[in-house]
Amino acid sequence: MKEEEILKLVAYIGISKTRKNVLKSIGNELKYPSQISKEVGIRIQHVSTSLKQLKEKQLVKCINEDVKVGRLYKTTNTGKKVIKYL
């Protein structure tokens, strides 16, 4: 991915404190939404919304989409590049 595209994603993340905190919380780990919620101090509904938005931009990936409860998320390579700018 070109640096210009990365910078556009950085801007997209930067305008939302919630998206920024959710992405940073995951970092290089695997995390459940409930873990992110506790760590960042925001409601699980806001975490879920942010995860959906981050997934749409291909910054995070759910590694077990087929389960209803206990979904695990990780950052993509693009997400890791964006984190470096934050």
**Tens-place pLDDT, residues 65-79:** 999 889 999 999 999
* pLDDT in the model for residue 13: 96
| DSSP, res 66 | T
Whose CA is closest to 53, among 78, 5, 18? 18
In order of their start, the domains of the chain are 3-85 (1.10.10.10)
For the question of whether the overall pTM of this predicted structure is more than 0.95, the answer is no
Cα–Cα separations (whole angstroms), residue 28 to 15, 43, 66, 85:
22, 22, 22, 15
